[in-house]
Structure 1
Amino acid sequence: MPLLLALALLAVSCGLKSVGNDVAATVDGQKIYTSDVEKYFQSQTAGSTQPLSDEQATSLRLSILRELIENEILMHRAAKLGLLATDEEVDRKLNEIKSPYSASEFAQRLNERKLSLDDFRHDIRRTLTAEKVLHKEITSKINIGPQDISAYYNQHKAEFNLIEPRYHLAHILVTASPGAQGQDSGNKARNEAEARRKIETVLTRLQAGEDFSSLAMTYSEDGATAANGGDVGIAPESALKQTDAPTRESVVKLKPGQYTPIIPLANPATKQVGGFQIVKLIALEPAGQRELSDPRVEQEIRSQLQDHREQLLKAAYYEVMRNQAKIDNYFAQRLLER
């Protein structure tokens, strides 16, 4: 109980008034309702197989309310700066999120998260607005100079000494299972023959000069990577050695920018083909010391320094905004009065 009380004490502001249980908090007079907290609580715990204890559930609700309070603060700030997300921006982002799914698949995902479409649009508007405010107030003011990058490299030089080569890969995956969740349910291969025809179509278009990432977004049935152009990230050589032999042997023959032939993916025990893939080698980093003169090293360091500085300044910014706002956390107050 001490941790829960500590969270509550941090959340409660001085001189709170008594209000109905339907109001969880107010920010400069704007109400945040208990139903809002409960809605996001249900969304975050949907599908969980491990039930929360009473203390864990209350702690999660306090955390959700704190985030809602911070979001409300940013919405007020955005209104003053003229940075509220527009309907056009919300629609564009919504369409981008929906694009990998059919209408029924997207509706099912909302249902699984216990959110309505209006709830989801509200979340998008809030997220876009927060991004615009933080970009103007924080991100746009951060400057990472050559001296910062050089100093970081010299202090962390060992981190850039690769003990093995690293492969940056992308793939286009087509499965033969009718139950798999493809990017386009109307374009989903339902058996091995259809999967083979589909991947052969992809290969033909690649050979005609079409862009790999665009084809991955259209045809790949890997829901985790399709929207990102099939990019599966960077794998060290040791990880590549753990993959199936056909994939491993095809990839190691590639030069950056090249792609493999069609690779059948078969069950090692039954030899049954479960799908096909085409893998592209985006980049290959050899083992050894990576020098600062390598543009990839410079960009990696710049991104790290940018991220670290952003996190620090955002934390400070939220604290300043909270101090300037009039916040009454009634949910926390009621917790202490139990």
Structure 2
Amino acid sequence: MRSLRIGISIFVAFLSFGLISCNRQSAHVADGVAATVNGRSIMLSEVDRIISQQTGGQQAQLSPLELAAARLQVLDGLIQQEVLFQRAEKEGLLPTEDEITQAINSEKIQRNMTEEEFQRMLRESGQTEQALRETVRKQLAIQKLQDKVIGKIAISDKEVEDFYNNNKQQFVNARGVGLANIVVDPQDNGYQDDAKNEAEAKLKIDEIYQRLKTGNADFATVARARSEDPSNVRGGDIGFATEEQLRQAGFPQDLINKFFNSMQVGDITPPIKFPNGRWYIFKLTDKRLQTENLTLDSPGVRDQIKNALINQRRSLLNAALLEVAMNEAKIVNYLARNMLNSPNNLSGVRPAPAATAQPTGSASPQK
């Protein structure tokens, strides 16, 4: 069964796949067409552009055999995407222009991206805003198609009870704490409002702490705007951890003791410098001092089980959807045909790097 490799993340899809040509005319290999799906062309130039993005512009370093394999793999993903998009189109599941705009704006907000940064990202990736909108259109249409299939799933009470009885060990609220953090790194890491040395890092973390202490600033809002850590997109949230997990993560024991004793939910720590050189401010978001065995009547347990059962079926149904759509579509893979007709053009190895002269008997570089 073909695996479903269609991603839903808008910007990941934008950077990884690019814009698929929608030429509806039949075409041939000589015209640069890699494949057609129900008469719509996928151009070889689009395949090669994606390979260039994936290799950071180093596709020339691939041997003919490696390039041929990469082309087949990328083209397979583009064919699958086009097949699903056309099925969504046929079922009347195309997004509106407002939905496309909203999806792009939501991604900007999640990434804390200004309009200037957004336009720069477009320029650096060599794409126009209209090209991005067309990519988003396809991704949203495919998402709607998959959601329509998933919406048919019905989970019975007996399935929920059977899952719980067979997996009781999973339904335990362990003793632990929930945390969020704001991080300042003295290294030049390219993050927003980036501190670039020790002095700047200390000044920044102290300024953030004083602002939080006044009570006039929301921790999550500050984290999104100023934290130099991937958790900033979640408002600094780093999840729930047991005491042992905190120790394994390198948290000092005296800090762990504060979490479980003197600190109350909502409290924040003063700035703390970890051995990795980064400064941290932690917020206690949850606190559980005893391990609790959950039952089916515990809040959220039934919903958690239902979601788990739905997710188990989701991947299977999405794969089945793709299989049916591929079987019903008329696909002509000119690239694969051309390879079969010219197998001797696929041999070759990557050129060896140029040798660098080394003085005889020279010592190893000093570290």
Query: Could you tell me whether the CA contact under 8 Å between 1:83 and 1:129 is conserved in 2?
Result: yes
How far did residue 170 of structure 1 move? Answer: 2.1
With over 3 angstroms needed to count, the CA separation of the structure-2 counterparts of 1:150 and 1:247, relative to structure 1, is: same
User: The residue matched to 2:36 in structure 1 has which SS?
Assistant: strand
Query: 1:80-229 maps to which residues of 2 (within 5 A)?
Result: 80-99=90-109, 100-102=112-114, 106=118, 117-136=129-148, 138-160=149-171, 165-173=175-183, 175=184, 177=186, 179-183=188-192, 190-204=200-214, 207-208=215-216, 211-222=218-229, 224-229=230-235
How far did residue 310 of structure 1 move? Answer: 0.9
List per-residue Cα deviations over 1:103-138 (Å, max 9, x = no partner): 5655665677665555443332221121112112x1
Q: 1:290 aligns with which of 284, 288, 294?
A: 294
User: The residue matched to 2:155 in structure 1 has which SS?
Assistant: coil
User: The residue matched to 1:20 in structure 2 has which SS?
Assistant: helix
User: The residue matched to 1:316 in structure 2 has which SS?
Assistant: helix
Query: Could you tell me whether the CA contact under 8 Å between 1:43 and 1:115 is conserved in 2?
Result: no
With over 3 angstroms needed to count, the CA separation of the structure-2 counterparts of 1:267 and 1:149, relative to structure 1, is: same
Q: Which moved more, 1:236-245 or 1:95-104?
A: 95-104
Distance 2:178 2:131 in 1: 37
Query: Could you tell me whether the CA contact under 8 Å between 1:160 and 1:289 is conserved in 2?
Result: yes
How far did residue 330 of structure 1 move? Answer: 1.2
Distance 2:172 2:289 in 1: 11
Query: Could you tell me whether the CA contact under 8 Å between 1:216 and 1:226 is conserved in 2?
Result: yes
With over 3 angstroms needed to count, the CA separation of the structure-2 counterparts of 1:145 and 1:285, relative to structure 1, is: farther
Distance 1:57 1:256 in 2: 58
With over 3 angstroms needed to count, the CA separation of the structure-2 counterparts of 1:267 and 1:78, relative to structure 1, is: same
- Number of the residue aligned with 2:269: 261
List per-residue Cα deviations over 1:126-168 (Å, max 9, x = no partner): 21121112112x1221222322221111122233357x63443
- Structure 1 letter corresponding to 2:79: I
How far did residue 319 of structure 1 move? Answer: 0.9
- Number of the residue aligned with 2:88: 78
Structure (1 or 2) with the larger CA radius of gyration: 2
- TM-score w.r.t. the length of structure 2 is 0.71
User: The residue matched to 2:178 in structure 1 has which SS?
Assistant: strand
- Structure 2 letter corresponding to 1:31: S
List per-residue Cα deviations over 1:193-248 (Å, max 9, x = no partner): 233112321342xx35x6543443334332x2222222223334322013332643
Query: Could you tell me whether the CA contact under 8 Å between 1:25 and 1:330 is conserved in 2?
Result: yes
- Number of the residue aligned with 1:329: 333
What is the count of residue pairs matched by the alignment?
310
With over 3 angstroms needed to count, the CA separation of the structure-2 counterparts of 1:140 and 1:122, relative to structure 1, is: same
**Percent identity between the aligned chains?**
29
- Number of the residue aligned with 2:18: none
- Number of the residue aligned with 1:238: 244
Query: Could you tell me whether the CA contact under 8 Å between 1:251 and 1:260 is conserved in 2?
Result: no
- TM-score w.r.t. the length of structure 1 is 0.76
With over 3 angstroms needed to count, the CA separation of the structure-2 counterparts of 1:267 and 1:291, relative to structure 1, is: same
Distance 2:329 2:72 in 1: 18
How far did residue 82 of structure 1 move? Answer: 2.7
User: The residue matched to 1:71 in structure 2 has which SS?
Assistant: helix
Query: Could you tell me whether the CA contact under 8 Å between 1:172 and 1:278 is conserved in 2?
Result: yes
Query: Could you tell me whether the CA contact under 8 Å between 1:149 and 1:301 is conserved in 2?
Result: yes
Residue 283 (structure 2) pairs with residue 279 (structure 1): yes
Query: Could you tell me whether the CA contact under 8 Å between 2:205 and 2:271 is conserved in 1?
Result: no
Distance 1:58 1:235 in 2: 46
Distance 1:115 1:286 in 2: 54
Query: Could you tell me whether the CA contact under 8 Å between 2:171 and 2:293 is conserved in 1?
Result: yes
User: The residue matched to 2:93 in structure 1 has which SS?
Assistant: coil
- Number of the residue aligned with 1:251: 259
- Structure 2 letter corresponding to 1:135: D
Distance 1:238 1:114 in 2: 47
Gaps of 5+ in 2: 1-25, 343-367
Distance 2:326 2:52 in 1: 26
User: The residue matched to 2:267 in structure 1 has which SS?
Assistant: coil
- Structure 1 letter corresponding to 2:251: D
With over 3 angstroms needed to count, the CA separation of the structure-2 counterparts of 1:26 and 1:108, relative to structure 1, is: same
When the two chains are superposed, the root-mean-square deviation of aligned CA atoms in Å is 3.5
User: The residue matched to 2:113 in structure 1 has which SS?
Assistant: coil
How far did residue 91 of structure 1 move? Answer: 2.3
- Number of the residue aligned with 1:5: none
- Structure 1 letter corresponding to 2:258: S
